[in-house]
Amino acid sequence: MTVVARAAVLEDVGRPVVVRELELIEPRAGEVRVRMLASGVCHSDLHVRDGEWDRPTPIVMGHEGAGLVEAVGQGVTTPRIGDLVALSWLIPCGVCRWCRRGQVWACPDSPSYRHALLDGETSFRGVRSYCAIATMSSHSVVPAAAAITLPPATDPAVAALIGCCVTTGVGAVLKTAAVPAGRSVAVIGLGGVGLSCVMGAVLAGASRIVAIDRVATKLDVARSVGATDTVLATDDAAATIAALRELTDGGPDYVFEAIGLPATVELAIAALPVGGTAVLVGMTPVGDRAGFEVYRFVDGAKRILGSNYGSAEPSIDFPRYATWSIEGRLPASRLIDRRIALDDIEDAFAAMRRGEYVRQVIDFD
Ligand SMILES: NC(=O)c1ccc[n+]([C@@H]2O[C@H](COP(=O)([O-])OP(=O)(O)OC[C@H]3O[C@@H](n4cnc5c(N)ncnc54)[C@H](O)[C@@H]3O)[C@@H](O)[C@H]2O)c1
Ligand SMILES: [Zn+2]
Ligand SMILES: [Zn+2]
């Protein structure tokens, strides 16, 4: 059976994404076909669309999706046909030094980064799949290892978000930084990623959670998911730092940067008290640099951590986060404030550039 997918294709960076009908290959050994139910729009998609990261084209976009498995290739036992799966944008290679010691999130040789199936074949016949999963498509053929089965009661849109922003933000707090209970936390940038850091800080038992954004409506959402305090940021970084110090007895023990701007990376580091940790989650355009004052950093025994995919082990962490969302401990559905159709993708990117909406989610019929 030949399946024709409706897919959001980036023909060339910097050009509008177009929806095209593309023929899919049949899933082969080690591959599955997923009928997509939902795909989030992450700022990483916008980085790719705008050419801020170097990615091959033409490519089917999207890396934050969930759907139902509708066909499996030879020998595939997991997942099974009918499973609700969230797609992981990082498939560990399994053999590099980081994979061998269990740090799969750090795998530099992940086949996902080739944006094709494991043997280099493309599921969309000549058009690549972003991170080998291409979630902005009605259907996608993906490596079975990327499709992680979730409890069937998981809301499909939440399942999609577990594929990127939830895992990235919650994991940055609980896994990368492993914030101990009772510490103070600040989060700069309240999109899907930053608000997931806020939810992670609640789960960690942080004493204060200060949420910062330059868009006032984001501060209200942050309070609704557990922020204890908010700061409306302006271009005056010194004022933001002063407000943060005031709220946290001299500076937050942990500052999460969830935007990806050199100025806010520098703000995160400058706001640290003695012994504080800056956790960099936001991603800048390739090549950007940031600076900090070395003497105060070393003398104050501070730390900077980079957090990729929330230090996720997707097959373990995705079902955990899904269960917490079902139990109400992780209110991930509050992140979703706009439902769109696949054809609205360029409008969604434009809204994201303006700082509108927390998480826009594409619904597939
Ligand atoms: N480390 C990882 O593994 C990983 C995974 C996913 C996404 N990311 C990155 O995380 C970042 C955030 O992603 P997102 O989808 O949540 O983005 P988003 O665009 O939805 O959210 C960014 C937020 O930052 C706010 N903001 C922008 N400039 C600001 C400023 N100067 N001061 C204060 N607030 C400001 C915006 O109003 C918005 O609320 C992106 O760079 C993305 O590429 C990293
Ligand atoms: Zn993402
Ligand atoms: Zn590896």
The ligand minimizing its distance to the Cα of 47 is 1
Give mean pLDDT, residues 276-292: 97
Does the CB atom of residue 177 touch ligand 1 within 6 A?
Answer: no
Pick the atom of ligand 1 nearest to 359's CA.
20
Q: Which atom of ligand 1 is nearest to the CA of 192?
A: 16
Does any ligand 1 atom lie closer than 6 A to the CB of residue 43? yes
Ligand 1 contact via 312 beta carbon (within 6 Å): no
What digits encode the pLDDT tens for the residues 54-87? 899 999 999 999 999 999 999 999 999 999 999 9
- Cα(179) to ligand 2 centroid in Å equals 22
Ligand 1 centroid, distance to 212 Cα (angstroms): 12
- Ligand 1: which of 193, 197, 221 to mutate, most ligand atoms within 8 Å of CB? 193
Ligand 1 pocket, 34 CB below 6 A?
no
Angstrom distance (rounded) from CA 359 to CA 361: 6
Q: Does 168 contact ligand 1 (Cβ within 6 A)?
A: yes
261 C-alpha to ligand 3 centroid (Å): 28
pLDDT of residue 1: 75
Pocket of ligand 1 contains residue 190 by CB under 6 Å: yes
CA of 192 to the centre of ligand 1 (A): 8
pLDDT band with cut points at 50, 70 and 90 for residue 2: confident
Rounded percentage of the chain residues whose pLDDT exceeds 90: 98
- Say yes or no: CB of residue 261 within 6 Å of ligand 1: yes
259 in ligand 1 pocket by Cβ < 6 Å?
yes
| CA dihedral over 354, 46, 277, 262, signed as positive or negative | negative
No. of helices (H) and no. of strands (E), the chain: 11, 17
Contact 359, 339 (CB under 8 A): no
Contacts of 305 by beta carbon, 8 Å cutoff, 6+ apart: 176, 177, 277, 278, 279, 280
Predicted confidence (pLDDT) per residue in 116-140, tens digit: 999 999 999 999 999 999 999 999 9
**Minimum mean pLDDT range among 88-92, 108-112, 288-292:** 108-112
Tens of pLDDT along 13-41?
Answer: 999 999 999 999 999 999 999 999 999 99
List, for residues 214-252, the tens digit of each pLDDT value. Answer: 999 999 999 999 999 999 999 999 999 999 999 999 999
The per-residue pLDDT for 356 is 96
Residue 282 has pLDDT above 80, yes or no: yes
Listing DSSP states for 132-196 in one string gives GT--SBSEEEEEGGGEEE--TTS-HHHHHHHTTHHHHHHHIIIIIS-PPTT-EEEEE--SHHHHH
Residue with CA at minimum distance from ligand 1 atom 34:
213
At 175, is the pLDDT very low, low, confident or very high (cuts 50, 70, 90)? very high
pLDDT above 90 (res 365): no
Answer whether 124 contacts ligand 1 (Cβ < 6 A).
Answer: no
From the CA of 306, give the closest atom in ligand 1. Answer: 1
Q: Is the CB of 49 under 6 A from ligand 1?
A: no
Closest CA to 53 of 110, 120, 115, 139: 115
Question: In this predicted structure, what is the pLDDT of residue 129?
Answer: 97
Per-residue confidence (pLDDT) for residue 26, from 0 to 100 = 97
- 188 Cα to the center of ligand 1, angstroms: 9
pLDDT in tens, 285-323: 999 999 999 999 999 999 999 999 999 999 999 999 999
Q: Is 260 in the pocket of ligand 1 (CB under 6 A)?
A: yes
Number of the ligand 1 atom closest to the C-alpha atom of 172: 1
Helix (H) or strand (E) holding 237: helix 237-247
Beta strands in the chain (DSSP E): 3-10, 18-24, 31-40, 59-60, 65-72, 84-87, 128-129, 139-143, 147-149, 184-188, 208-213, 229-232, 254-257, 277-280, 303-306, 336-340, 359-363
